[in-house]
Copies of this chain bind each other. A is one copy, B any other.
Amino acid sequence: MYSLVEENYLKALFALSKDIGSVSVNDLSKHLDIKMPTVTSMMKKMAAKKLVAYESYKPLKLTEKGKKEAALIIRKHRLTEMYLVEKMGFGWEEVHNIAEQIEHIKSPELFTKMDELLDYPKFDPHGAPIPDINGEMEWKAYSKLSECKAGEKVRMAAVINTSDGFLEFLNSREIRLGLKIKIMSVEPFDNTMVVRYKKHDQESLSHTVCERLLVEKV
């Protein structure tokens, strides 16, 4: 059984090393807002537990065991978020902080029950995949809205940034997962997009926003 602190290191290592397979002490330190010497010493401790492959001055890598443990915590986080939205009526902007705490609850039964009651969901309220009980998970090949071209029709699949502020912005424009969007035009100067959906005939979305929206082409 791992401590809450170790679990948070595992999640951070997993998230930051997802792309290139490793992460620097510096980046991990900044992400966790914990000073580098503390991170170094924790990495040695986690290496002793076979969660991390640690060598001095080398980038940090999770072991297979570390990846699986991380995925199981992420599973608990995302199941919780889904449960809070679907069964308790919270908004998608309200659930992250609660899930950050509940993900550390030690009770396989609680999460199995959530999974059953939700009928084994594959995605969380932000479109992120929920790992299965073995820690297996797969991101679908979504595109960023910002990479799409004028004239294309797409469906909202996931949000990258899940800060309250961003999600509240999306709420204010009635943008949610599953929504079908037509790209009317793209301003060449600053890449602002004008899009059409539902009763929104011409909604302007900044590049900053479009970069954070993942879509499926339809």
Contacts from A to B (Cβ < 8 Å): 84, 87-90, 94, 97-98, 101-102, 105-107, 109-110, 113-114, 117
Q: Is the CB of B105 within 8 A of A101?
A: yes
Closest chain B residue to A109 by CB distance? Answer: B94
CB distance from A117 to the nearest CB of B (A): 7
| Interchain residue pairs with CB less than 8 A apart (20) | A84-B110, A87-B87, A88-B113, A88-B114, A88-B117, A89-B113, A89-B117, A90-B109, A90-B113, A94-B109, A97-B107, A98-B105, A98-B107, A98-B109, A98-B110, A101-B105, A101-B106, A101-B107, A102-B102, A102-B105
Copies of this chain per assembly: 2
Give CA–CA (A35, B102) in the complex, Å.
30
Give CA–CA (A114, B89) in the complex, Å.
10
Closest chain B residue to A117 by CB distance? Answer: B88
Give CA–CA (A117, B89) in the complex, Å.
9
Closest chain B residue to A94 by CB distance? Answer: B109
CB distance from A115 to the nearest CB of B (A): 11
List residues of chain B with CB within 8 A of the CB of A113.
Answer: 88-90
CB distance from A218 to the nearest CB of B (A): 35
Give CA–CA (A102, B98) in the complex, Å.
11
* Apart from A84-B110, A101-B105, A102-B102: 8 A-B pairs, beta carbons within 8 A: A88-B117, A94-B109, A97-B107, A98-B105, A98-B107, A98-B110, A101-B106, A102-B105
Most buried by B among A84, A87, A109, A117: A109
List residues of chain B with CB within 8 A of the CB of A110.
Answer: 84, 98
List residues of chain B with CB within 8 A of the CB of A97.
Answer: 107
Give CA–CA (A101, B111) in the complex, Å.
14
List residues of chain B with CB within 8 A of the CB of A88.
Answer: 113-114, 117
CB distance from A24 to the nearest CB of B (A): 31
CB distance from A1 to the nearest CB of B (A): 13
Closest chain B residue to A98 by CB distance? Answer: B107
Give CA–CA (A101, B97) in the complex, Å.
16
CB distance from A167 to the nearest CB of B (A): 15
